[in-house]
Amino acid sequence: MSATTATERGEIVSCLSADKPVRKTLASGARIHIDRPLPFICVHQAVEETQRAAEDIALAHASYLVSEDLGRDIDILNGIGRAMIDRFGAFLVIRVSEFEQDDLLSEDSPYLPEFEIALQTEPRTDTRAALEAAAGAIESVDVKYRSPLVSRTVGERRDTDALTGLDPEFGLLSLRFAPIYRQPDSDAVYTELRERLIANIFDALLQAAAAFSRESGAMEPATHRALGRRAFVDAVRKLDRQMDAVCNSFDFLLAVTPINTAAAWDRFREQKQERAPQLLYRPLAIEVDAQKRALHGIAFENLEDPLLASIYRDRQQELDLQLTAINLRDTTRFRDASRLLYGPVEDALLAAAQDILARPLRDGKAAKGEGGQEGHVDCYELRDAACRMIADYHAEYPGFDAEVVIRDDLPAGMMVSGPCLMISRSTRMTRGRLQALLSHEIGVHLMTYFTGDAQGLRIFRSGLAGYEGIQEGLGVFAEYLAGGLTAGRLRLLAARVVGCAAMLDGAEFVETFRILTRDHGFSDSAAFNLTVRLYRSGGLAKDAIYLRGLRDVLEHLRSGRSLAPYWLGKFAKSQFSQIEELAARGLLRTPPVSPAFLTGELAEQRLAAARAGMTPAELISG
């Protein structure tokens, strides 16, 4: 062992003994990363430039060693392993590599055949458990392209050029796979297939490490995902800042929301409600092309985490669509961009909305909007109540530092933008709805901004791709728990769905307005405000997400799952499993504050009823 190697080995072992992370490039050129002591390490010999998928699989682990010559760095590896055996009593080396070529596929193959994955280990109980766990995980994957043909080899360890001299007390698991992501006889890459392959094999190897840990008695992880990374590398934080800068360069809803709703209503009445109003918008304060260049100039290399890479790529795509939509605002093409962002109105959602609107009203005034005989509050009383609620949250968590502003350029109501609650000066609402709407805007939208901000990555406060649907669903459910979800409010959400479906099907402004007044009994003013929301900038499909999100929340509760993970930040229903994985790894922190509307006898009773199973219509039936 050279003096340099001995020194490096000593430094690494010393860090691990002190529970400090290790991330460095060795004198040999090898790269090592261990974010905490673990009873396994993933290694890869980076000989071939083409074997980048295997290298990325290794780099995804919380503990890895990537070297051009593993034999040259064997003393470092042995030092790490001995230190981990002293701590855990067992240690597993997982070697991942690729075959030179995909022998089962030729350029003119008429179909997509199986591809080879070879697993090999020695006849030990713990390493065989690891092999079977990896094989089972690989074989259970729902395959989109090619199915794996997994071979299992159990036999005495043979020294190889790469791992000659490896401590015999260590367990050894080898995985080799065919490079199916590379086009035959070419260096071109099937990008989607490559990403799927990396994610699936990485997850399988993590399951192998968990099985080895349990069988050997090294540790008992609650889930294999708990063995994943617990620290964000600098490349992730850099990318996060760059994407957040693009995100903060514009406010999508403000950019596409008209500023002359009141004047447009007056003009609409003057024209006997027969012509669509002319809507005016704020001048754009951003250069769309420049922000798109910045967005697509973000480098995704060196993230070393397939899950985070997927999360950020989805958000990149969504921001690109938002910028495209802004560029198309007030044109006929905006509607198509909006459909891409928010999706169509699915048949089941439309049927649920129509069912709500068809139900008889207990309060005849509910069709007109919010209804009620309890008196009203204006924008100033609303602001004061909002400030009191924010002060209560701030007292519990000083990081809850929200701002409340009254603005003249918004239609009646409230909206949250980042850490700011904006209230339209023309807002006037029934007093009985006050706490419910503040629970929606402050208890959900502002809450998840600040709890997301506490996670260490800005994307959790600005929102992962598609986060708005579940956010609005949680907001409406908060209104229910706060005791302020009325029949009129639910009818309004249903009418948004029906109107959105009509708009996406090609109905013009006046036609949709008449559907709401003639067919569903809404007042002229309520129908106008709703239709303006639907047709802003050329047709915005966002309003269907409120009822859709509420249905998703109710289904989530009915399936026996907790709402607690949703307070970690802003994310979509489809990302729930990803958030659970990040939480299991320890990458996400317990929220420093939770919504007040979840507490109290009434809220607990309503929450229990929702868990027992309820439809949106049943929320206001009792």
User: Which band of pLDDT confidence, cut at 50, 70 and 90, is reported for residue 425?
Assistant: very high
Residue of 533, 493, 491 lying closest to 512 (CA atoms)? 533
Average pLDDT score over the chain: 93
More confident residue, 46 or 561: 561
pLDDT at 368 over 60: no
Same domain, yes or no, for 125 and 218?
Answer: yes
User: Which band of pLDDT confidence, cut at 50, 70 and 90, is reported for residue 109?
Assistant: low
pLDDT at 454 over 90: yes
Residue 407 placed within a domain = yes
What is the pLDDT at residue 549? 98
User: Which band of pLDDT confidence, cut at 50, 70 and 90, is reported for residue 101?
Assistant: confident
Cβ proximity of 62 and 22 under 8 Å: no
**Burial class of 15 by CB neighbour count within 10 A (0 to 12, 13 to 18, 19+):** middle
Same domain, yes or no, for 190 and 66?
Answer: yes
What is the pLDDT at residue 613? 96
Same domain, yes or no, for 444 and 574?
Answer: yes
pLDDT at 149 over 70: yes
Question: Which residues fall within 8 angstroms of residue 605, CB to CB, at 6 or more apart?
Answer: none
Instruction: Copy the structure tokens of residue 20.
Output: 């400090």
For 20-39, letters b (16+ CB in 10 Å) and e give eebeeebebebbbbbbbbbb
The pLDDT tens digits for 293-350 are 999 999 998 889 999 999 999 999 999 999 999 999 999 999 999 999 999 999 999 9
Can you tell me the distance from the alpha carbon of 426 to that of 378, in angstroms, rounded to the nearest whole number? 8
What is the pLDDT at residue 314? 97
Cβ proximity of 74 and 109 under 8 Å: no
Same domain, yes or no, for 416 and 507?
Answer: yes
Sign of CA dihedral 542, 548, 552, 553: positive
User: Which band of pLDDT confidence, cut at 50, 70 and 90, is reported for residue 367?
Assistant: very low
Lowest mean pLDDT of 210-214, 465-469, 615-619, name the range: 615-619
Beta partners for residue 94, in sequence order: 42, 173
Cβ proximity of 92 and 157 under 8 Å: no
For the beta carbon of residue 220, count every other beta carbon within 10 angstroms.
9
Can you tell me the distance from the alpha carbon of 473 to that of 445, in angstroms, rounded to the nearest whole number? 11
pLDDT at 370 over 60: no
Question: Which residues fall within 8 angstroms of residue 4, CB to CB, at 6 or more apart?
Answer: 27
Same domain, yes or no, for 454 and 602?
Answer: yes
User: Which band of pLDDT confidence, cut at 50, 70 and 90, is reported for residue 4?
Assistant: confident
Work out how many domains the chain is built from and give that number. Answer: 2
Same domain, yes or no, for 260 and 112?
Answer: no
Same domain, yes or no, for 150 and 264?
Answer: no
More confident residue, 523 or 160: 523
Same domain, yes or no, for 457 and 576?
Answer: yes
Q: In what order do the strands lie in the sheet with 403-407?
A: 403-407, 420-424, 414-417
Sign of CA dihedral 154, 156, 161, 163: positive
In order of 223, 239, 435, 551, 555, the CA distances from 579 in angstroms are 14, 19, 30, 20, 18
What is the pLDDT at residue 89? 98
Pairing of strands 403-407, 420-424: parallel
Same domain, yes or no, for 203 and 336?
Answer: no
Can you tell me the distance from the alpha carbon of 586 to that of 38, in angstroms, rounded to the nearest whole number? 14
Residue 52 placed within a domain = yes
What is the pLDDT at residue 449? 98
In order of 11, 84, 104, the CA distances from 87 in angstroms are 17, 5, 44
Sign of CA dihedral 114, 117, 123, 125: negative
Q: What share of the chain is helix, strand, coil (3-state, %, to 5)?
A: 55, 10, 35
Q: What is the mean pLDDT of residues 418-426?
A: 97
Beta partners for residue 376, in sequence order: 430
The pLDDT tens digits for 69-97 are 999 999 999 999 999 999 999 999 999 99
Same domain, yes or no, for 90 and 151?
Answer: yes
Provide the strand spans (E) within 305-449. 376-378, 403-407, 414-417, 420-424, 428-430
Instruction: Copy the structure tokens of residue 216.
Output: 């050997």
Q: Which helix (H) or strand (E) holds 448?
A: helix 447-453
Q: What is the mean pLDDT of residues 287-291?
A: 97
Beta partners for residue 148, in sequence order: 115
Same domain, yes or no, for 608 and 562?
Answer: yes
What is the pLDDT at residue 622? 46
Residue 513 placed within a domain = yes
What is the pLDDT at residue 111? 63
Q: Is the pTM of this model over 0.95?
A: no
**CATH classification at residue 92:** 3.40.630
Residue 322 placed within a domain = no
Residue 573 placed within a domain = yes
Can you tell me the distance from the alpha carbon of 290 to that of 267, in angstroms, rounded to the nearest whole number? 37
Can you tell me the distance from the alpha carbon of 157 to that of 68, in angstroms, rounded to the nearest whole number? 22
Packing angle, helices 468-481 and 545-558, rounded to 10: 70
More confident residue, 302 or 268: 268
pLDDT at 108 over 80: no
Residue 310 placed within a domain = no
Q: Which domain holds residue 89?
A: 3-231
Place of tokens 């809220």: 603
The pLDDT tens digits for 374-393 are 689 999 999 999 999 999 99
Residue 59 placed within a domain = yes
Ramachandran region, residue 456 (left: φ > 0; alpha: ψ -120 to 50; beta: rest): left
Same domain, yes or no, for 376 and 520?
Answer: yes
Place of tokens 């090592």: 32
Cβ proximity of 174 and 139 under 8 Å: no
User: Which band of pLDDT confidence, cut at 50, 70 and 90, is reported for residue 104?
Assistant: low
Residue 399 placed within a domain = yes
Beta partners for residue 150, in sequence order: 117
The pLDDT tens digits for 350-365 are 999 999 999 887 654 4
